[in-house]
C-alpha cells in the first residue's frame, strides 16, 4: 500500500504543474512537505491527503506544488548552450538591426540562467547593445521568482559556474552574499508563469531556454509544452533544452540543429 496522502499529492502536482511523482519518490514527501504540514496545521500526510480530497483552497495547493518542485540551478549550467549562444548572439543582433532581441528563460528557478544570458550578452555585444535585449524569465513557483528578482546569491551559489573574474565584474558583495549589478538586473524581467498555460500573449522569442523541467513531465505533457514553445519561437529562433531532454519522438515541429547537442530550431513546414 502506498504512503498515506501520496495519491492525492501526486494527483495535485500532476494537474497543476504537469510533474509526475512516482511512488519511488514518496520518501520526498515527508521531508519536503513537513513545513507545509506545520504551516497549515495538518498533523500528518494522511490529513493533508484528506484535505486535498475536499476543498483545500489555493494557498495550500500552491504550497504543496512549491514544496515538490526541484529548483536546482547554477550559472552557465552545462556550458554548451552558452558556448552556442556566444556564437549566435552577434549574428541575430545583426539580423535584427536595432530591433529588440528577445530571450525567454522558461522555468528560470532562482534566475542563474537568465543572469548568465545577461552577462554573456554584455561580454559579447558590449553593455549598450546588450541592454537592447529583452530577457524574460518565468517560473511556476512564486517563491523562486521572488528570489530571482532580488538577484542576491550566496557564496555557494556564485561558486557554481562563475569564474572569479566574472563574479567580480558583474556582482557587488553585500556581507556574505553577492548581488548582481543593477545594469544586468535591469535587463531581466521576472514573472510567475505555468508552462501548461497558454503563453501566446508573451509574443515571439529569438532564443528560448527551457532546461531541466521537461524531465519531470510525462510524454503528452512534454509534447504539449514543446509545441507551445515552438509557437513562441521566431522562424529562425533557437531553443535550448537540458542535457537529458530532447524533442525526438515528441514533436515534429522542432528539429535538432545538426552537430549541436541540446539546440533545436523550427522544422520546415510540410
The catalytic residues are 32, 139
* Residue 196 near ligand SAM by CB under 6 A: yes
The Cα–Cα gap between 235 and 255 comes to 12
- Within 90-109, the residues that bind ligand SAM by CB under 6 A are 107, 109
For ligand SAM, give the closer residue by CB, 93 or 184. Answer: 184
Closest contact distance (angstroms) between CB of 20 and ligand SAM is: 11
* Residue 157 near ligand SAM by CB under 6 A: no
- Within 112-131, the residues that bind ligand SAM by CB under 6 A are 113
Sole window of 32-40, 46-54, 69-77, 129-137 interacting with ligand SAM (rule: CB under 6 A): 69-77
Neighbouring-strand partners of residue 62: none
Sole window of 20-28, 81-89, 151-159, 193-201 interacting with ligand SAM (rule: CB under 6 A): 193-201
* Residue 234 near ligand SAM by CB under 6 A: no
Residue 19 per-residue DSSP state: B
For ligand SAM, give the closer residue by CB, 215 or 266. Answer: 215
Q: Name residue, grid cell 530550431.
A: 265
Helix (H, G, I), strand (E, B) or coil at 244: coil
* Residue 232 near ligand SAM by CB under 6 A: no
Closest contact distance (angstroms) between CB of 217 and ligand SAM is: 8
171-175 — which CB contacts under 8 Å span 24+ positions? none
All three cell numbers of 248, joined, read 525526438
Sole window of 88-96, 117-125, 138-146, 151-159 interacting with ligand SAM (rule: CB under 6 A): 138-146
The Cα–Cα gap between 240 and 164 comes to 26
For ligand SAM, give the closer residue by CB, 50 or 78. Answer: 78
Closest contact distance (angstroms) between CB of 77 and ligand SAM is: 5
Closest contact distance (angstroms) between CB of 110 and ligand SAM is: 8
The Cα–Cα gap between 9 and 6 comes to 5
Closest contact distance (angstroms) between CB of 7 and ligand SAM is: 20
* Residue 199 near ligand SAM by CB under 6 A: no
Helix (H, G, I), strand (E, B) or coil at 102: strand
- Within 25-54, the residues that bind ligand SAM by CB under 6 A are none
Residues in contact with ligand SAM by CB under 6 A are: 17-19, 69-73, 77, 107, 109, 113, 139-141, 144, 194-196, 211-213, 242
Amino acid at each position: 500500500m502506498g504512503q498515506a496522502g501520496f495519491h492525492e499529492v501526486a494527483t495535485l502536482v500532476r494537474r497543476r504543474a504537469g510533474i509526475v511523482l512516482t511512488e519511488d519518490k514518496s520518501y520526498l514527501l515527508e521531508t519536503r512537505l513537513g513545513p507545509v504540514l506545520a504551516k497549515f496545521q495538518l498533523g500528518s500526510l494522511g490529513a493533508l491527503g484528506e484535505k486535498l480530497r475536499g476543498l483545500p483552497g489555493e494557498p495550500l495547493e500552491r504550497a504543496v506544488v512549491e514544496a515538490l518542485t526541484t529548483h536546482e540551478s547554477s550559472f552557465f549550467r552545462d556550458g554548451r548552450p552558452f558556448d552556442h549562444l556566444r556564437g549566435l548572439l552577434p549574428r541575430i543582433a545583426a539580423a535584427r538591426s536595432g530591433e529588440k532581441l528577445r530571450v525567454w528563460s522558461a522555468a528560470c528557478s532562482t534566475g542563474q540562467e537568465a543572469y548568465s544570458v545577461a552577462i554573456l550578452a554584455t561580454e559579447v555585444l558590449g553593455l549598450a547593445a546588450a541592454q537592447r535585449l529583452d530577457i524574460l524569465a518565468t517560473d511556476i513557483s512564486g517563491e523562486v521568482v521572488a528570489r530571482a528578482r532580488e538577484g542576491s546569491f550566496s557564496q555557494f551559489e556564485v561558486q557554481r559556474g562563475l569564474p572569479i573574474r566574472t563574479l567580480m565584474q558583474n556582482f557587488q558583495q553585500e556581507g556574505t552574499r553577492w548581488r548582481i549589478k543593477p545594469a544586468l538586473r535591469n535587463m531581466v524581467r521576472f514573472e510567475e508563469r505555468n508552462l501548461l498555460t497558454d503563453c501566446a500573449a508573451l509574443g515571439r522569442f529569438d532564443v528560448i531556454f527551457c532546461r531541466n523541467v521537461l524531465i519531470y513531465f510525462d510524454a503528452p505533457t512534454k509534447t504539449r509544452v514543446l509545441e507551445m514553445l515552438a509557437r513562441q519561437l521566431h522562424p529562425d529562433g533557437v531553443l535550448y533544452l537540458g542535457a537529458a531532454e530532447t524533442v525526438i519522438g515528441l514533436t515534429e515541429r522542432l528539429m535538432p540543429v545538426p552537430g549541436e547537442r541540446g539546440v533545436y530550431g523550427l522544422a520546415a513546414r510540410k
